[in-house]
């Protein structure tokens, strides 16, 4: 006797929306039968659909939330170093020094000062438009890139519509290859357990909406590692599920900026998704821990350099009492016991602790009784010296602290180029 399931049963089993299931039926990917005026899915057809979507033609695992991730026998696939992710690692080292120019295009959402854009251009990709709603960051972006920024609140429908139309205009008939963005995750944390019922609470949904409207080949999403544990992994699962629902194969893992030459301990979760049947590659780390770049390597020549406001190098003037207190802080420790992640003294002969602006304080210089200058922070973040930040000093610090290290973005950009080259 054959078993037939209702659409709502299939949706529940796969942890997808009924709308998504109907879309798969309409596309012919999932076979259905109309019985008594109601569409039903044969259990055998459902099993066939599940098995066919575990792997794409390249042997890449696709994702169904109920099932988790599946590994394949692909020679390019090996277990990640973290969280038991299954990742398609690709070597980018031979392309690192002199990446060739390409015709590939990208836009940068929640761009801030432009860490992703800077790194992607280092990888030979072509920026089309950035978007942010932080005045100083928009000014910085405009000052450092040939392509324009868009200043606007993406949560507003009219702004999003204008932005999408401007992207199409700037493309001038070219294909949009990549939508990238480090979306703020405050919506997830504020929504609590309501995220499952009301995903609109998160700004990432605005990014996904732009993706749906522009249909890029690839999506790149960056966020803090803490996202992976939000709601017991439910937030990560929701993102993966939504990518699949929109027709994208997706892979996710955590990357460490120091593994690619950044003088900083900075780990970020990176989602890479595509809808063109390519393999989602993440860049294989090529810097061994014993060869990590250090804080000393990054900023030693700036220690006694004169203040230069045009170079974003203006040293803080602390009170005598603060100077004494900073001098007593050990490397790797914070000035304030209740702020363990800020006012932290960077180690000198190791990669810096994570660069950030937090609680009005920034990282402490390892050898001088002061906070780091904006340029020192930018060096550790791997921004080039000709990248100039605009706005007040405090706003410059926020821009640098919130940025994706360009060198990490470069590695990701090169990995995506491999996805095209190896199809």
DSSP single-letter state for residue 361: B
Task: Identify whether the C-beta of residue 104 lies closer than 8 Å to the C-beta of residue 419.
Answer: no
d(CA 11, CA 22) in angstroms, rounded, equals: 9
d(CA 115, CA 398) in angstroms, rounded, equals: 13
d(CA 185, CA 297) in angstroms, rounded, equals: 33
Task: Identify whether the C-beta of residue 297 lies closer than 8 Å to the C-beta of residue 78.
Answer: no
d(CA 111, CA 47) in angstroms, rounded, equals: 42
Task: Identify whether the C-beta of residue 104 lies closer than 8 Å to the C-beta of residue 178.
Answer: yes
Angle separating helix axes 157-171 and 204-214, nearest 10 degrees: 40
| Backbone angles phi and psi of 101, in degrees to 5 | -65, 155
DSSP string, 236-250: HHHHHHHHHHTT-EE
- Catalytic-residue membership of 185: yes
In the chain, the largest separation of any two C-alpha atoms, in whole Å, equals 85
Q: Look up tokens 């979306």; give the residue.
A: 183
Task: Identify whether the C-beta of residue 377 lies closer than 8 Å to the C-beta of residue 397.
Answer: yes
DSSP string, 181-237: E----HHHHHHGGGGTT-GGGSTHHHHHHHHHHH--SEEEEEEEGGGGGGGGGHHHH
Of 185, 243, 346, 418, the catalytic one is 185
| Backbone angles phi and psi of 199, in degrees to 5 | -65, -10
Is beta strand 149-151 parallel, antiparallel or unpaired with respect to 105-109? Answer: unpaired
- The residues carrying an active-site annotation are 185
């Amino acid at each position: 006797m054959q078993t037939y399931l209702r659409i709502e049963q299939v949706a529940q089993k796969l942890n997808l929306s009924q709308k998504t299931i109907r879309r798969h039926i309409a596309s012919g990917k999932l076979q259905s039968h109309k019985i008594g005026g109601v569409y039903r899915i044969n259990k055998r057809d459902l099993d066939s659909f599940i098995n066919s979507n575990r792997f794409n033609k390249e042997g890449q695992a696709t994702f169904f939330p109920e099932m988790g991730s599946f590994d394949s026998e692909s020679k390019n696939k090996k277990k990640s170093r973290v969280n038991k992710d299954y990742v398609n690692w690709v070597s980018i080292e031979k392309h690192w020094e002199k990446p060739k120019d390409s015709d590939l295009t990208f836009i940068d959402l929640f761009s801030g000062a432009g860490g992703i854009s800077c790194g992607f251009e280092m990888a030979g990709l072509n920026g089309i438009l950035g978007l942010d709603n932080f005045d100083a960051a928009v000014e910085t972006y405009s000052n450092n890139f040939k392509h324009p920024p868009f200043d606007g609140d993406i949560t507003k429908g009219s702004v999003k519509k204008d932005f999408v139309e401007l992207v199409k205009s700037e493309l001038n008939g070219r294909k949009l290859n990549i939508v990238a963005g480090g979306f703020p995750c405050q919506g997830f944390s504020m929504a609590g357990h309501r995220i499952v019922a009301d995903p609109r609470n998160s700004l990432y949904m605005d990014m996904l909406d732009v993706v749906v409207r522009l249909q890029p080949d690839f999506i790149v999403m960056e966020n803090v590692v803490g996202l992976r544990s939000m709601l017991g992994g439910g937030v990560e699962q929701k993102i993966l599920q939504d990518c699949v629902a929109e027709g994208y194969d997706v892979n996710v893992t955590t990357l460490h900026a120091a593994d690619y030459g950044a003088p900083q301990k900075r780990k970020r979760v990176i989602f890479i998704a595509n809808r063109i049947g390519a393999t989602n590659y993440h860049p294989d780390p090529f810097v061994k821990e014993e060869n990590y770049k250090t804080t000393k390597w990054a900023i030693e020549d700036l220690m006694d350099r004169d203040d230069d406001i045009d170079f974003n190098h203006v040293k803080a003037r602390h009170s005598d009492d603060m100077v004494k207190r900073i001098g007593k802080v050990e490397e790797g420790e914070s000035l304030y016991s209740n702020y363990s992640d800020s006012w932290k003294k960077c180690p000198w002969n190791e990669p810096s602790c994570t660069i950030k602006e937090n609680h009005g304080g920034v990282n402490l210089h390892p050898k001088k009784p002061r906070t780091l200058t904006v340029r020192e922070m930018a060096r550790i973040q791997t921004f080039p010296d000709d990248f100039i930040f605009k706005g007040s000093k405090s706003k410059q610090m926020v821009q640098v602290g919130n940025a994706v290290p360009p060198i990490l973005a470069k590695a990701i950009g090169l990995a995506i180029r491999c996805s095209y080259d190896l199809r």
